[in-house]
Amino acid sequence: MLKLVNVSTFYGSVPVLRNVNIHVPKGSITCLLGANGAGKTTTINTILGFVRPSAGEVFFKDNFIAHASTEDIIRMGIAVSPEGRRVFPKMTVEENLLVGAATDKDKARVKRNIERAYTMFPRLGERRNQNAGTMSGGEQQMLAVSRALMSNPEIILLDEPSLGLAPLVVNYIFDTIKAINEGGTTILLIEQNGFKALQLADRAYLLQKGEIVAECTENTPEAKEKFKEIYMANHTKKDE
Amino acid sequence: MTVDVLLQQFFNALGLGVMYALIAVGFTLFFGVIEVVNFAHGEVFMLGAFGAMVVGTAMAGAGVEAGSVTYLLAVLAIIIIVGALFGAALEKFIVAPMRGAPDIMTLLITLGASIVVREAVMIFFPDGRNPQPFPQMIQMDSFNIGGALIKPETIICIVISAILISMMYWIIEKTALGRYIRATAQDRQAALMMGVNANRVFIITLILGSVLGSVAGLMNGMSYGIIKFNMGFAASIKGFAAAVVGGLGNMYGAVVGGLLLGFLEIFVVSFLPNGSSYQELVAFLIVILCLVFRPSGLFGEKAYDKV
């Protein structure tokens, strides 16, 4: 569904992504792991058209999107829950959701989607008229995910949904991610702390200093185990 | 001090205050949403006044009774179009090309645009160097409120401003467009990530703010009966002062800031000995005081508090 082929991205003359190949098949949960500064968020920004790759191509449903506008990319069916949640702090929960539906002209469907969000996260329903900036981190993350779902995306890019959240809340968010995926939405999950994400994932990539250093393309225990070993080795190396 | 004098000054201050408020709302919107300080904003004020004069004179020449209700409404409609065109042109030719450039560049280019427009009117408008008489927009007797005689122009200005500001409130708070404007002001990149068309938001913001500015120009002409090519300069300083007092980016703060400035000026003029010589100082003084003691404005909250 979403494919990055030999993508290289520069900030100025500094390479941030080098020859990155990622394939997110339809219906999968694909996980992109990597330490701080590995290029995870740049990958997202490249997919969304905020930065242009200097080489390579991004495909979405067999369309080239590397040079499309962000608005068109969102319209095609990609949605994002950005790193740090980025909810609109001085707008209510409901207004945040409505902005999430900026590309949807069908009012009845927008209304249904809002109700769906409140069913999925009853907490959001209780706080629908509260300013998003006054909510807890977990609630803001729920809002960020729900807001991304408002545009009826075929794929959601989740950028570190567990960042700064308590373990219990993380479990809750991850359960929801699984449920969203089972509802038919493809997911690209980007995480720094990968073990939890790996349990969920069908596929996984490990990004290090802008390069994919390991990938796990089969959803089998052996393949995952092997990937985990590489990931662990990387992880501990980083910690030293 | 008698009640009628107080009432008189109250309405004078209100009339002046709403005019400043209209200009200030433009400044604060541009800053909050587009993150530019638009120094050309005073020129839309001037163009509004000159446009109203040209249209008004032409209509009177064509036989429409000067000062009738149709006359005023027609002038108002055309001034709104003038403001909208100015705002759209500003975005297309001045602000959009500078997107991504350092703030100081945008600031300088709007200052440049302001000088070009001002001097062009001075040079190319017939007798543009001199003050121009403004046609009478309404024929009505003064209102007698509690013994004070209030000019109909003052009342009309207050009413028009109240309508415009209410409409702005409605657009910003209640419509989808307003939600996109607020979202862009609070977190531009996140708004883009939701598929909000930021370019559309920018041009609409400039149009809305400029329309308020041009109508303020019309109101200025109505109130004083005389307009001049360089009237936009002082107006933009007053409007900017009001916006700073209210906290740049805060629309309601700008309205309050405008009213406050109007009341302070009238207070200085009418209650201090030889006060009218100090009228122009008030705006500068409160900007300085504000920047020293309350840099985020009277209602300043956190940095994200925009629109």
CA distance A122 to A127: 9
Is the torsion defined by CA of B214, B216, B218, B224 positive or negative? negative
> Is residue B73 situated within a structural domain?
yes
Yes or no: say if B219 and B19 are a contact pair by the CB < 8 Å rule: yes
Diameter over CA atoms, chain B: 60
Contact residues on chain B for A90, CB-CB shorter than 8 A = 182, 186, 304-306
Tokens for A165?
Answer: 């959240």
What pLDDT does residue B106 have? 92
Could you give all domains of chain A from N- to C-terminal order, each with its CATH number?
2-77+153-239 (3.40.50.300), 86-152 (no CATH)
CA distance B294 to B283: 15
pLDDT-based confidence at residue B278 (cuts at 50, 70, 90): confident
Which residues 30-59 of A have a C-beta within 8 angstroms of B? 48, 50
> Is residue B112 situated within a structural domain?
yes
At A29, which helix (H) or strand (E)?
strand A29-34
CA distance B296 to B293: 9
What pLDDT does residue A237 have? 58
Question: What confidence tens digit (pLDDT) does each residue in A136-145 have?
Answer: 999 999 999 9
Yes or no: say if A157 and A44 are a contact pair by the CB < 8 Å rule: yes
Checking DSSP bridges between strand A55-60 and strand A63-64, what pairing results, if any? Answer: antiparallel
CB atoms within 10 A of CB B225: 14
Q: Report the domain count for chain B.
A: 1
Average pLDDT of B185-203? 95
**Residue B258: pLDDT above 80?**
yes
DSSP letter for each residue of B50-112: HHHHHHHHHHHHTTPPTTSHHHHHHHHHHHHHHHHHHHHHIIIIIIGGGTTS-HHHHHHHHHH
What pLDDT does residue B271 have? 87
Yes or no: say if B209 and B164 are a contact pair by the CB < 8 Å rule: no
Interface test with A, best of B33, B179, B194 (most A CBs within 10 A): B194
ipTM associated with this complex: 0.92
Question: What confidence tens digit (pLDDT) does each residue in B51-95 have?
Answer: 999 999 999 888 888 888 889 999 999 999 999 999 999 999 999
> Is residue B213 situated within a structural domain?
yes
CA distance A141 to A90: 16
Q: Does A156 touch chain B (CB under 8 A)?
A: no
- Whole-number Cα distances in Å, A5 to A47, A205, A224: 11, 14, 23
Tokens for B228?
Answer: 């001049």
What pLDDT does residue A236 have? 64
**Residue A239: pLDDT above 60?**
no
What pLDDT does residue A133 have? 95
The partner residue sitting opposite B179, judged by closest CB among A86, A95, A133, is: A95
At A125, which helix (H) or strand (E)?
helix A122-126
SS3 B156: helix
Check A99 against B180: CB less than 8 A apart. yes
Question: What confidence tens digit (pLDDT) does each residue in A153-165 have?
Answer: 999 999 999 988 9
Tokens for A148?
Answer: 């991304």
Domain interval for residue B33: 29-232
Q: Give B229→chain A minimum CA distance, Å.
A: 40
More confident residue, B163 or B138: B163
pLDDT-based confidence at residue B303 (cuts at 50, 70, 90): very low
Tokens for B126?
Answer: 């017939």
> Is residue B129 situated within a structural domain?
yes
Tokens for B262?
Answer: 């109007």
Q: Give A147→chain B minimum CA distance, Å.
A: 8
Residue the block writes with tokens 């433009």: B26
SS3 A133: helix
Q: How many residues does chain A have?
A: 240
> Is residue B7 situated within a structural domain?
no
Yes or no: say if A20 and A212 are a contact pair by the CB < 8 Å rule: yes
Yes or no: say if A163 and A191 are a contact pair by the CB < 8 Å rule: no
> Is residue B241 situated within a structural domain?
no
Average pLDDT of A80-109? 96
**Residue B200: pLDDT above 80?**
yes
Check A151 against B195: CB less than 8 A apart. yes
Question: What confidence tens digit (pLDDT) does each residue in A170-195 have?
Answer: 999 999 999 999 999 999 999 987 88
Confirm whether pTM is higher than 0.90.
Answer: yes
Those residues of chain B whose CB sits closer than 8 Å to some CB in chain A are 176, 179-180, 182-183, 186-187, 189-197, 304-306
Q: What percent of chain A has pLDDT over 90?
A: 78
Instruction: Name every residue whose Cβ is closer than 8 Å to that of residue B303 and which is 6 or more positions away in sequence.
Output: B296
> Is residue B298 situated within a structural domain?
no
What pLDDT does residue A21 have? 96
Contact residues on chain A for B304, CB-CB shorter than 8 A = 89-90, 133
Question: How wide is the angle at C-alpha B23 spanned by C-alphas B21 and B29, nearest 5°?
Answer: 95
Instruction: Name every residue whose Cβ is closer than 8 Å to that of residue B301 and which is 6 or more positions away in sequence.
Output: B247
Yes or no: say if A176 and A145 are a contact pair by the CB < 8 Å rule: yes
> Is residue B91 situated within a structural domain?
yes
Yes or no: say if B60 and B253 are a contact pair by the CB < 8 Å rule: no
Q: Does A149 touch chain B (CB under 8 A)?
A: no
Single-letter residue type at B35: E
Checking DSSP bridges between strand A155-159 and strand B143-145, what pairing results, if any? Answer: unpaired
